[in-house]
Amino acid sequence: MAFNLVAIGTSLGGLSALKIVLQNLPERFITPIAIAQHRHKESDNTLSSLLQQFTGLPIHEVEDKQKILPGHVYIAPADYHLLVEAGHFSLSTDEPVSYARPSIDVLLESAADVYGSQMIAILLTGANRDGVQGLAAVKARGGVTIVQEPQTAESPILPRAAISTVQVDSILPLPCIAPYLVHLCNPAGW
């Protein structure tokens, strides 16, 4: 099964968790990755330049209608929701969801609409419930759902809420997530 998108949502503690996921992905990892990380509305693009230090995959703060390309990592810009359309992204300034803009629910629900069973959704560390509904939507459309093992999360609230609400496919310690993605997206090896 080929996947068209990996969507990752995280909140409190996300920066160090994302660092570990990204640095363990090979540079040949071709499935596009979209990330919604809760952040302050006036933060600049330091998040993407920080994360860029840990991966050879090019990282972008999404601009409206940017194409989704293989081997690229896309980050929801501060103060915008990131939505997935067929083959590209859209942004919105609709009101925050669970106090968050970008919201993880918005990213995952829109991605589930477009990619259905051909996507993987991952929830990492976080201190509120934004993302749980989105993960449920991905599950309902047949996508693969992965949650960080709560004990390995800086803030276990989001992973716990997800596990108790959604019948998730895999619960993995943080260091195992990247290898598992490689296994899912390229089972035949490189």
Partner 1 sequence: MTTELNPEDIEFQLLVEGIYCRYGYDFRNYAPASLKRRIRRFLHVEGLPTISALQDRILHDQDCIKRLLLSLTVNTTAMFRDPGFYIAFREQVVPILRTYPFIRIWHAGCSTGQEVYSMAILLQEAGIYHRCRIYGTDANEQVLQTARTGIYPYKQMQEYTRLYLKAGGQRSFSEYYTANHGSAIFHPSLREHIVFGQHNLVTDRSFNEFNVIICRNVLIYFNQTLQNQVHGLFYNSLCNFGILGLGKQETIRFTAYEGCYEALVSAEKLYRRCN
Report the interface residues with partner 1, using CB under 8 A.
4, 61-67, 77, 80-81, 83-87, 90-95, 106, 109-110, 113-118
88 part of the active site? no
40 part of the active site? no
Q: Which of 38, 48, 81, 105 is catalytic?
A: 38
Comparing CB distances to partner 1, the nearer of 16 and 43 is: 43
CA 77 to chain centre: 13
Give min distance, CB of 135 to partner 1, in A. Answer: 16
Comparing CB distances to partner 1, the nearer of 113 and 169 is: 113
Q: Which two tokens stand for residue 100?
A: 């968050």
Strands, E assignment, 3-155: 5-10, 33-37, 59-61, 73-75, 81-84, 89-92, 119-123, 144-148
| Residue that is written with structure tokens 């009101």 in the block | 95
| Residue that is written with structure tokens 């302050």 in the block | 40
Angle between helices 132-140 and 104-115 (to 10 degrees): 10
Comparing CB distances to partner 1, the nearer of 29 and 115 is: 115
Give min distance, CB of 74 to partner 1, in A. Answer: 12
CA 68 to chain centre: 14
Q: Which of 48, 81, 130, 155 is catalytic?
A: 130
Are 132 and 165 contacting, i.e. CB atoms less than 8 angstroms apart? yes
Q: Which of 11, 48, 110, 155 is catalytic?
A: 11
Comparing CB distances to partner 1, the nearer of 2 and 27 is: 2
Give min distance, CB of 73 to partner 1, in A. Answer: 16
Please list the active-site residues. Answer: 11, 38, 130
